Amino acid sequence: MNRLRDLLGTDETVLLDGGMGTLLQESGLDDGGSGELWNVERSDVISGIHAAYAEAGATILTTNTFGGTRPRLAMHGLEDRVHELNRAGAAIATEVARRHGVLVAGGLGPTGELLSPLGTLEPDDARLLFAEQLAGLAEGGIDLVLIETMSDLGEVEAAIEAAREVVPDAPVIATLSFDTNLRTMMGVRPADAVTALAGLGVDAVGANCGRGPEEMEAIAEQLTQARLEGLLIVAQSNAGLPQLVGDRFAYDVPPERLAEHAVALQALGVDLIGACCGSTPAHIAAMRQAVLS
């Protein structure tokens, strides 16, 4: 039994949403500012982004909480507002999702700290950080957990353990960023991730971020080849790489190219397809039309 497949109620390809940070910057978020703070200070912008993705065809909306752990929020002096900002982020996404009949994934990004022995963060302390974040997300009404853009399997395991503790019935998706010669920064290969995370009981394993659709297709092929029975595979590519255009950076892959990419992922057997940095609701709309036509 796959809890996520049961929750989705379909065997068809499922569409995730796209980038959040790019859209926040376009809405005025300063470089280095906290996007999570906008969950309370500019909730209308966050709600509008979620609504745009839902209208574009996303079946799962991801909360605006990528940097919602205590160490990440401490970079902005917000370490005492973990519960508040995560609960608010989940509540905004949930309100939009219920209007559109879709689901909400509570997004957990890396803590920014290295686990021992490379760093000073102990696995159990990492679990507590994620549990603190998840308590707020759970109160806000999430349906599932998305652990994303990870490079260290130990950190993923800590997040999975926290999810089991705080939201034991929620399906769990875990994605890593294989952006260093098709490995994560810590040397994890796609097949390694599938084997390790399936053994930890996640419902879906995959890749997000990275260097663009061509590389994501190579990664997705390795993921699907390593798939274990009952496990779903996820892929969320960046819209290429940022290029300097005038005085700002813009990603170089247009919606129609990500639509072609979505078809290629579907042919490889990827179950959940979305996008990441640089993507917009226009990209998701094009991908939806391509995979559902």
Interval 239-250 mean pLDDT: 79
**What are the tens digits of pLDDT across the range 51-108?**
999 999 999 999 999 999 999 999 999 999 999 999 999 999 999 999 999 999 999 9
Q: Is 276 annotated as a binding residue?
A: yes
Mean pLDDT of all residues in the chain?
96
Interval 40-52 mean pLDDT: 98
Give the per-residue pLDDT at 245: 76
Flag whether pLDDT at 247 surpasses 80. no
Tell me phi and psi for residue 227, to 5 degrees.
-55, 135
Q: How far apart are CA 111 and CA 116, in angstroms?
A: 13
**What are the tens digits of pLDDT across the range 157-178?**
999 999 999 999 999 999 999 9
Give the per-residue pLDDT at 252: 87
Give the per-residue pLDDT at 45: 98
Flag whether pLDDT at 248 surpasses 80. no
Give the per-residue pLDDT at 57: 98
In 3D space, the residue among 113, 98, 102, 94 whose CA is nearest the CA of residue 16 turns out to be: 102
| Strand ranges, E, within 37-159 | 60-62, 103-108, 144-150
Interval 227-233 mean pLDDT: 96
**Would you say 234 and 271 are in contact if contact means Cβ atoms under 8 Å apart?**
yes
Give the per-residue pLDDT at 20: 97
Give the per-residue pLDDT at 52: 98
The answer to whether the predicted template modeling score (pTM) of the entire model surpasses 0.85 is yes
Q: Is 125 annotated as a binding residue?
A: no
Least confident interval from 16-30, 81-95, 126-140, 236-250: 236-250
Q: How far apart are CA 293 and CA 173, in angstroms?
A: 26
**Would you say 275 and 285 are in contact if contact means Cβ atoms under 8 Å apart?**
no
**Would you say 116 and 122 are in contact if contact means Cβ atoms under 8 Å apart?**
yes
Flag whether pLDDT at 32 surpasses 90. no
In the β-sheet with 14-15, what is the strand arrangement from edge to edge? 14-15, 272-275, 232-237, 204-209, 172-176, 144-150, 103-108, 60-62
Q: How far apart are CA 269 and CA 283, in angstroms?
A: 20
Structure tokens at 215: 């590389």
Q: How far apart are CA 290 and CA 56, in angstroms?
A: 12
**What are the tens digits of pLDDT across the range 178-219?**
998 999 999 999 999 999 999 999 999 999 999 999 999 999
Q: Which residues pair with 15 in a beta bridge?
A: 273
β-pair type (144-150, 172-176): parallel
Give the per-residue pLDDT at 23: 95
Residue 228 makes CB contacts below 8 A (sequence gap 6+) with 194, 195, 198
Instruction: Using pLDDT thresholds of 50, 70 and 90, give the confidence band for residue 123.
Output: very high
Interval 99-123 mean pLDDT: 96
Q: Is 209 annotated as a binding residue?
A: yes
The residue extents of the domains of the chain are 3-292
Percent over 70 (pLDDT), the chain: 100
Residues in the chain: 293
Give the per-residue pLDDT at 292: 85
Interval 101-125 mean pLDDT: 96
Q: CATH top-level class for 3-292?
A: alpha beta
